[in-house]
Each structure stands twice: as C-alpha cells, then as structure tokens.
Amino acid sequence: MALLTFELPDGTTRRVDVVQVLNAGYAGRSQDDVAAHVAELAELGVPAPSVTPALYPVAPYLAQHTDRVGVQHGRTSGEAEWALVVDGDGDLLLTAACDHTDRELEVHGVAWSKNAGPDVLARRAWRLADVQERLDALTLRAWVTHAGSGEETLIQDGRLAELLTPAYWAEVLRERGDLVPGTVLISGTIPMAEGVDQFADRWRVELGDPATGDVIELAYDVVRMPAPIG
C-alpha cells in the first residue's frame, strides 16, 4: 500500500492508506471529446476501447506524491486529471493528478500501460463537499517542458465540465462496493493541444478554483533510467 498525506485549505491534514486505485478512461461528458482522445491515442497505435467510459485497476503503490518519475524510454507521457480520494473517515477529497503512462506498452494493452508508471497526486486537496456547487467551473491545465527549450508549453486546458463528475464515479464505486476508505479514482483526461510534443522532460498540472483563486498543483521531472545490464 501507499501512504498519502493531503493538506486541506484550513491547514489540517488527511492521511490516506491507499488500498485500491482505479483509473477512468474515455471519460469525457462530450462524445466529441471522447472521440478526440481516442483519435489521439490511435495516432500512437492504441486500439479503440470496446466500451466507454472504461475503468482500469492500478496497483495501489502507484499512487504517489513525487517530483521525479523514472522511465525506461522516451515514449512516456502524463495526462492532466483530477483524483477522487476516500480518506480514512470516508470523506471525499478532490485533488490534482497526473497519470504517467507508457505509450509503447499502451499499444499492447491499456491496463498494462497504466500499471507501468505512477499516478502522481498533488499534496493539497479540497473536501469535495466544499467545491461541489461549482465543480463544473473548476479548471484543469497541464504544461510540459522539453530539455532543449527549457520553456513551459501549455498542452491541456479545460474545465471539469468536460469530464464525468466525481458524483458519477462515486455512485459507480458505491454500486461496486468500492467506495471505501483508501480508494483513489483518477478521472480520465481532457484533449491535448495539437502540435505539442507530449514526450516531455517535465510535467506540471494545475486544478484551479476561479471562485477563490485557489490552485492545487503538482509537478515532476521525467528521468530516463540507465540502460539495463544483461
């Protein structure tokens, strides 16, 4: 299991012993957005899913607070997402997440690829109940940095209105008997900007609340591991 600690806006913290992680996929409310994401992945050789939305179980230890993700090759990338976290008291938390995925492996199986990299989560969170009434207005953005330029490029920019809601997924989990303390559900993502190279050396994701100006942020470097011996 993984132990995560989230700081809330009032300064209190919530410790979460992660027992299960589920990654949603193809989870846009708009079928046009879903089709766009399917097309993005098709360009990378990923076959279309048999059903949408999809849900992929991920090893619990892959839910991480980290500023460094080790990779084996240059075709891995993140995805800006929100995460629904059930804390130890059963309270629902909302935070920013980035699902770092092995795109080479994805062509052989999406579920496999989701287990080949971490789900990076921010260290701050909101109580879902505190932002519930304005969820659709919350913003979700991601920037990438390439070593050659050293400059950030906006690669994803949208609102939570584009994705299926936390309430939708909470009900799915409840029906499955999975809405239990220690559960982390990653939302699925919004389309990427055309022409931006997603195979970057750094990812930064922001979940923003325009009503308060508060922003939950995570960032990490993508670091190539040494070549294997043997």
**pLDDT value for 192:** 92
What parts of the chain have a pLDDT lower than 50? none
Taking the CA of residue 163 as centre, how many other CA atoms within 13 Å lie in the half-sphere pointing to its CB?
30
**pLDDT value for 1:** 66
**pLDDT value for 73:** 93
- The angle at the Cα of 96, spanning 10 to 55, to the nearest 5 degrees, equals 130
Element (H, E) at 37: helix 31-43
**pLDDT value for 55:** 93
- Asked if residue 1 lies in contact with residue 182, where contact means CB atoms within 8 angstroms, the answer is yes
- Asked if residue 186 lies in contact with residue 177, where contact means CB atoms within 8 angstroms, the answer is no
**pLDDT value for 49:** 75
| CA dist., res. 207 & res. 63, Å (int) | 17
**pLDDT value for 56:** 93
**pLDDT value for 178:** 95
